[in-house]
Chains A and B, each alone.
Chain A
Amino acid sequence: MTPQVPGGPVVRATGLAAGYGNRVVWEGASFEIDRGEFVAVLGPNGAGKSTLLRMLLGLNRPVAGSLEVLGATPRRGNPAIGYVPQARPFESETAFRGVDLVRLGLDGHRFGFRPPWEWGSSSGLSKRALSQAQIAEAVAAVGATAYATRRIGQMSGGERQRLWLAQALVGNPSLLLLDEPLANLDLRNQAIMAELIGELAHSRNLAAVIVAHDLNPLRQVVDRVCYIAGNGVAIGTPDEVITTEVLSRLYGAPVEVLIDSRGRRFVVGIDEEIAHPHANHELLGR
């Protein structure tokens, strides 16, 4: 899909450290993420999960170490990256439809009028027809065709989340970054969304990195997790990382991972934040 470094990993981090100014939030992360891989970034609030996404987007610089996206230093406006930020409320009467949002992913960054030769009708392969086909394809890929022409403000949280995902997909990215895509969804929609992202990563051969609070809706579909806590980062399969030993070492305090009969893993013995990870997100709206 993208010509740059077809064989190399999508993300390569070596001795990476994150922080603001002189304050280091976490350090010593070395990992690679390949095409077709689905990675969840987990950890308590304020651990620096979103900072990792911001560094990949080129919005924050690493404090130390190196980070490469498709073999190059991350830069703002990289068309090979599709990004979905945390959901926020949308006024229900705003004159703005799902497909309008998806279209922004295609040409929203371009200044100037659309040249008249792009206005042409759908006869032949005019640029307009081409972009409409791309939009329709991205909308179909997330299963939103039925409601994509409705106003964004009148959609449910899950529907809206899918359109944001379609916007990120419309430019055929190699790397998909999603910040808390499961927040504010009920359990059933969390599972559906997690499965959809995993399926897209595999079928479109793109690397998907998502920030999440809770491993369990993702446990069956993610390839690896990246757990950030106590200034450190641990990466591996969920069964490797979400264990009493690894997390106790990361937190530098005794932490216990309980596994229930269905294989779900629960982290106990941390402070309030871990016990009630959603407490800070209730304000975000529906």
Chain B
Amino acid sequence: MTIAAIDSLSWNLVSDFNQMWAYAFMRNAFEAGTVVSIVGGVVGYFVVLRRTAFAAHALSHVGFAGGAGAALLVVDPLWGLLAFCVGAAAVMGAIGQRLRERDVVIGIVLMFALGLGYLFINLYSGNSADVYSILFGQIFGIDTEDVVVTLVVGVIVVTLIGVIYRPLLFASVDPEVAEARRVPVRVLAIAFMTIVGLAVAVSVQVVGVLLIFALLIAPAAIAERLCSRPSSAMVVSVVTALACTWIGLLLGFYFSPPVSFFITSLATGGYVLARVVSYALGRARAVPAVAGDPGSRWPTRSLSPDPAGTIQL
């Protein structure tokens, strides 16, 4: 659903912005979009790091069942999204621990959720536009209550990630040592899935069930190409998500294609650009390294400890 050009773009960004800001639905869209981008950027780093993209994808489809179920009960779809996503995330996190097993469990949950969602839209006699908005996002339809709920969920997600940040990083890259160091690897897996469930539920409002990766995977994947430090990757991921959402909203307001289309196009373009940039940077860096030590990836005097601990952290 689109708001076809109410006003036209004057290219005077200040007056354009003021024009947009005059509409309550645009303010709601920007506020919710901003919160969702921050959440998506932060959570996305760990989704990419832990290779749980499939789980995020499945959770968004579970959200479809939740949203459709809520529409059937004439409740705000956001509540259905939150209930279904968090419930399914806890089940996925608790049952599937090994990767193979996890994928199977996720697949089963995904299948059942889609079946349930189909049943709900079959029973639902309302407007089919409501179903479309769950599938492809309806950011211009966000009301003030949704913004408040999104903000609360966003604060919870970012705080939780902050509290479990270091052990989650440890459990994600080095689970065996983390377990030996008494990091509760299993509990963290369930907690993280629940966080993904929350992030998915609020993101669906903006980009919809089918385009969830635009905010949950693409910004983190772009950041991963450009940064090698976890904290900077997370910052770049958030900035990228914000840029995609804000520019997408601006374009969606002034031009007829839907916001979700602009956000996904920007995310895709950003990813392609990031690949090109990282490839070029990688080539630029590789030249002196090869010249200095041909054929060997070991330092020349590998056994003796390095004389001075000069290292950029």
**How many whole Å from A29's CB to the nearest CB in chain B?**
21
Complex Cα distance A79/B13, Å? 57
Q: What residues on A are CB-neighbors of B170 within 8 Å?
A: 104, 108-109
Q: Are B163 and A94 in contact (CB under 8 A)?
A: no
Of all chain A residues, which has the CB nearest B304? A143
Beta-carbon contact of B169 and A97 below 8 Å: no
**B180 A83 Cβ-Cβ under 8 A:** yes
Kindly state whether residue B166 has any CB partner on chain A within 8 Å: yes
- Find A95's partner among B162, B164, B227, B311 (CB 8 Å cutoff): B227
In this complex, which of A95, A100, A113 has the most chain B Cβ atoms within 10 angstroms of its Cβ? A95
- Assess the A143–B303 pair: CB atoms within 8 A: yes
Complex A-B: 5 CB contacts under 8 Å: A90-B173, A95-B227, A99-B313, A109-B181, A196-B303
Q: Looking across the interface, which residue of chain A has its beta carbon closest to that of B175?
A: A85
Flag whether A136 is at the interface (Cβ < 8 A): yes
A100 contacts which of B180, B181, B229 (Cβ < 8 Å)?
B229
What separation, in Å, do the CA atoms of A113 and B166 have in the docked complex? 9
List the 5 closest pairs (A to B, CB-CB), nearest first: A77-B182, A136-B309, A108-B170, A85-B176, A95-B233
Q: Is the CB–CB distance between A199 and B183 below 8 Å?
A: no
Distance, CA A76 to CA B177, complexed state (A): 10
Contact (Cβ within 8 A) A143 B223:
no
Q: Are A149 and B304 in contact (CB under 8 A)?
A: no
Asked if A180 CB lies within 8 Å of chain B CBs, one says no
Q: Which of A61-69, A151-159, A237-245, A257-265 lies on the face that meets chain B?
A: A151-159
Interface check A33, CB cutoff 8 A: no
A100-B230, A149-B312, A156-B297 as given contacts; A95 in contact with B223, CB under 8 Å: yes
Please measure, in the bound complex, the distance between the C-alpha atom of A9 and the C-alpha atom of B225, giving whole angstroms. 48
Q: Is B127 close to A, CB under 8 A?
A: no
Contact in complex: A139, B230 (CB < 8 Å): no
For residue A162, give the distance in angstroms from its CB to the closest CB of chain B.
Answer: 9
Expressed in whole angstroms, the Cα–Cα distance for A76 and B228 within the complex equals: 31
Of residues 254 through 313 on chain B, the ones whose CB sits less than 8 Å from some CB of chain A are 297-299, 301-313
Give the interface size class of chain B. 35 or more
| A116 lies within 8 A of chain B by Cβ | no
Chain A residue nearest in CB terms to B181: A109
Within 8 A of B (CB), among A83-119: 83-86, 90-91, 93-97, 99-101, 103-105, 107-113
CB distance from A45 to the nearest CB of B (A): 19
CB pair B311–A99 under 8 Å, yes or no, is yes
Which of A93, A159, A189 has the largest number of chain B CB atoms within 10 A?
A93
Name the residue among B174, B180, B225, B233 with the largest chain A CB count within 10 angstroms. Answer: B180
Let me know if A39 is at the binding interface, CB within 8 A.
no
**A145 adjacent to B309 (CB under 8 Å):** yes
Set of chain B residues within 8 Å of A105, measured between Cβ atoms = 177
Which residue of chain B has its CB nearest to the CB of A107? B166
Give the residues in chain A near B176, CB-CB below 8 Å.
83, 85-86
**A57 in the interface (beta carbon within 8 A):** yes
Q: Are B225 and A93 in contact (CB under 8 A)?
A: yes
A228 on the B face (CB < 8 A)? no
A167 & B177 in contact (Cβ 8 Å cutoff): yes
**B304 contacts across to A, CB distance below 8 A:** 143
Residues from chain B with a CB closer than 8 A to the CB of A155 are 297
Q: How far is the CB of A128 from chain B (nearest CB, A)?
A: 9
Q: Scoring B residues 211 to 235 as 1 if CB is less than 8 Å from chain A, else 0, what string do you get?
A: 0000000000001110111100100
With both chains docked as a complex, state the minimum distance between the C-beta of A103 and any C-beta of chain B, in angstroms.
Answer: 8
B167: CB under 8 A from chain A?
yes
- Complex Cα distance, B306 from A135, in Å, reads 13
